[in-house]
Structure 1
Amino acid sequence: MNRVILIVLDSMGIGYLPDAYEYGDEGSDTLGNIAKSYRNFKIHNLTKLGIGNIEGISSFIEKTDSPKGAYGRASEASKGKDTTTGHWEIAGLKLSNPFPTFPNGFPDELIMSIEEAIGIKTIGNEVASGTEIINRLGDIHVKTGMPIIYTSADSVLQIAAHEEVICLNRQYKICSIVRDIMQGAYGAGRIIARPFIGAAGQYMRTKNRKDFSLKPSGKTMLDYIKEEGMEVVAVGKIEDIFASQGITMSVHIKDNMEGVDKTIEYIRGGNKGLIFTNLVDFDMLYGHRNDINGYANAIMEFDGRLPDIMEAMKDEDILIITADHGCDPTTPSTDHSREYIPILIYGKSIKDKINIGTRECFCDIGATILDILNIKGQIEGSSFKSLLFGSDFNERTI
């Protein structure tokens, strides 16, 4: 076995964690509540892999008597519920302290430093919905050229600008400058460029979003795979989340289905190592907008493409499907939710009907991937490889 395909269904949590009350997320269950709310919700292929058999999953998710492979769930050990924290933990980097958030907007001294560095005043500086704030402040931005700065409950600073007022390259440059400034106590997990187009009253965000993450604070499974001379292929925003660290090849995508297409293309390419895919539409287009129908249809659309992914795989390939947090569109909140994530593992060499149980850390995924690839690395997590292949393999902590 020399290749793993890891697909993150961004925000598809499967039930709130025991500490969810600390985050105001009790009752959140992204997948379960969607299945409960959306009539005729069918995910036949995920069901065949055993998603309905996972411990604690909603009764609205169908079970199977014969799961094709292994299934389970993981609890988040790091503090937080954001994309960067979730992905870093999957890759074996557990955070003891959460990234800072800015529930009252950003301090005046920080805004002044940003404005001085980018050479222009800004507007906004508040907690807001991205779609709402561009329509409320878009006219002022177009008239003055001043970028719109805002945040959310997550550890982010977002910068919105009209593509015809500030060109994309300049927008990305501004975000890069802000990323350099926001370190230490102001080290938000991500600085996000949020380009938009349109006219007054009809502004809309484009798909030219770009994330500028902090560099990982330690080595991840990506670094160890790359050091071993294998490929680490990043599909979607993976490159941004890891600030390009540990990645050998990357491609950005415009939507989920392009992400699936690119993943299949790389699978057929025959590289050795890791194909790491993030499908962000679940979170960005539907979770944050409380769009239950959109989210449900996106899950079913992915489910319909699973056979294409599996047919492209070689006999020795291993597929792992998971998530990074929740974003329940059925709750009043429009922010991420603190939830368990699903783990589904498929491959022709994987034993069927294997329940890996509840893992105590997302990082068990990264530890298992390194173990499958026979790579030693100093990351957090306990491998569950022996559960997947039988007693011939010794489960170990990497």
Structure 2
Amino acid sequence: MKRALLIVLDSVGCGAAPDAADFGDAGADTLGHLFEREGLELPNLAKLGLLEVLDRGESPTLPGAAWARMREKSVGKDTTTGHWEIAGCVLEKPFDTFELFPQDLLDEIGGPFLGNVAASGTEILERLGEEHLKSGYPIVYTSADSVLQIAAHEERYGLKELYELCQRAREVLDQRGIRVGRVIARPFLGDSAASFKRTANRHDYSLMPPETVLNRLQAAGVETIGVGKISDIFAGSGISESHPTKSNADGMAVIERLWREKREQPHLIFANLVDFDMLYGHRRDPAGYAQCLREFDAWLGGFLPEVGEDFLLITADHGNDPYHQGTDHTREQVPLLTLNAPLELLNSEDFTQVARLIAARFGLD
């Protein structure tokens, strides 16, 4: 029985990419700035080579550890683009982005809507949440990423109704040939601007990806198990089973449970831990981001002895430097930390090295 575990630390970048200035991200460095300004220490990630990746000296590493730094080749810095490239698909044409959506598009989706602006998720609730409660109209907004986000109150509007509206938006975009990476349902609760809070019932409706290593693994009889929002990111394509989670802590608990099942079928566990990005990167909260990394590192210290001779990969999909201006992702390189890699790791010009390593682990070309 062969198995592998791939963990994506959402937004944990390690320094501006060479083309970062083209994305308005010159000088961004998520991990570097957190180490320098928050007194961050991550001893268990250091055992896999993190300090070497960051050029912060050397530390004792585990036998079988190997590390590298990867640059994104695809044109973009969003979750979908990063994950698809990790799975072997490089996007040479960026997804479509908007500052506001055409009114005829919104009319076809359903509407009427409030908003139709570029804004952060917390800001838009403060501005329009109370009006949404009065009118019942959902809030539509976007960001620098290729996303159409719809926020609605779970009780006033209804979670089922919000999901159906977002599914309709996905269908309309696809029918029109508009390449928006994700439609995101953003449910929230509360009764005033001071108490509005997004819930864990977010759901992403992604564009269907081209063939990835996940499809090839399935065809070869390897189970592909998504943890967190992985199935959403790939629109279910190439995913044998999905385990949605509500937080990093929940995701780490699910990883442990699945790992300890010791299935007889060859399998890949592919997990996304989103709290770094969603709760702290976009909200520009460096102290919270650093503490979130410490919590993951502490969990990793207890999990590493369970890896044994199996294959572990830890990487990221983009950056989100909490010290950078604005609230958007940052165009950064990402670390790649492994145990028991089947091929030699190289500092690479794209993220597809991850797909090649996973394919090799399961005997695919």
| Range class of TM-score, shorter chain | over 0.9
1:139 to 122, 130, 137: 130
1:330 to 323, 332, 350: 323
- What is the match of residue 71 of structure 1? 67
- What is the match of residue 276 of structure 2? 282
Q: Is residue 19 of structure 1 aligned with residue 16 of structure 2?
A: no
1:266 to 255, 258, 265: 258
CA-to-partner distance for each residue in 1:190-237, whole Å, 9 max, x for gaps?
000000000112211111111110110x21111011111121010000
- What is the match of residue 165 of structure 1? 156
Unpaired segments of 5 or more residues in structure 2? Answer: none
Which residue identity lines up with residue 374 of structure 1 in the other structure?
G
Which residue identity lines up with residue 242 of structure 1 in the other structure?
F
Q: Is residue 149 of structure 1 aligned with residue 172 of structure 2?
A: no
- What is the match of residue 373 of structure 1? 362
Which residue identity lines up with residue 275 of structure 1 in the other structure?
I
- What is the match of residue 178 of structure 2? 186
In the TM superposition, 1:187-226 aligns within 5 A as: 187-201=179-193, 202-216=195-209, 218-226=210-218
Which residue identity lines up with residue 253 of structure 1 in the other structure?
T
The secondary structure found in structure 1 opposite 2:364 is coil
Question: 1: distance between equivalents of 2:240 and 2:35?
Answer: 38
Question: 2: distance between equivalents of 1:221 and 1:322?
Answer: 16
1:110 to 105, 108, 131: 105
Q: CA RMSD for the aligned pairs?
A: 1.6
% identical aligned pairs: 46
Question: 2: distance between equivalents of 1:245 and 1:188?
Answer: 17
Question: 2: distance between equivalents of 1:227 and 1:110?
Answer: 38
Which residue identity lines up with residue 63 of structure 1 in the other structure?
E
TM norm structure 1: 0.87
- What is the match of residue 295 of structure 2? 301
Deviation, structure 1 residue 108: 2.0
Q: Retained in 1: the 8 A contact 2:46–2:61? A: no
Q: Retained in 1: the 8 A contact 2:109–2:165? A: no
Q: Retained in 1: the 8 A contact 2:50–2:337? A: yes
Aligned residues: 360
Deviation, structure 1 residue 316: 3.4
Deviation, structure 1 residue 63: 2.8
Question: 2: distance between equivalents of 1:288 and 1:122?
Answer: 24
Question: 1: distance between equivalents of 2:192 and 2:299?
Answer: 38
1:83 to 46, 54, 79: 79
TM norm structure 2: 0.95
Deviation, structure 1 residue 58: 5.3
Unpaired segments of 5 or more residues in structure 1? Answer: 377-398
Q: Retained in 2: the 8 A contact 1:290–1:329? A: yes
Which residue identity lines up with residue 150 of structure 2 in the other structure?
I
Which residue identity lines up with residue 325 of structure 1 in the other structure?
H
Q: Retained in 2: the 8 A contact 1:2–1:316? A: no
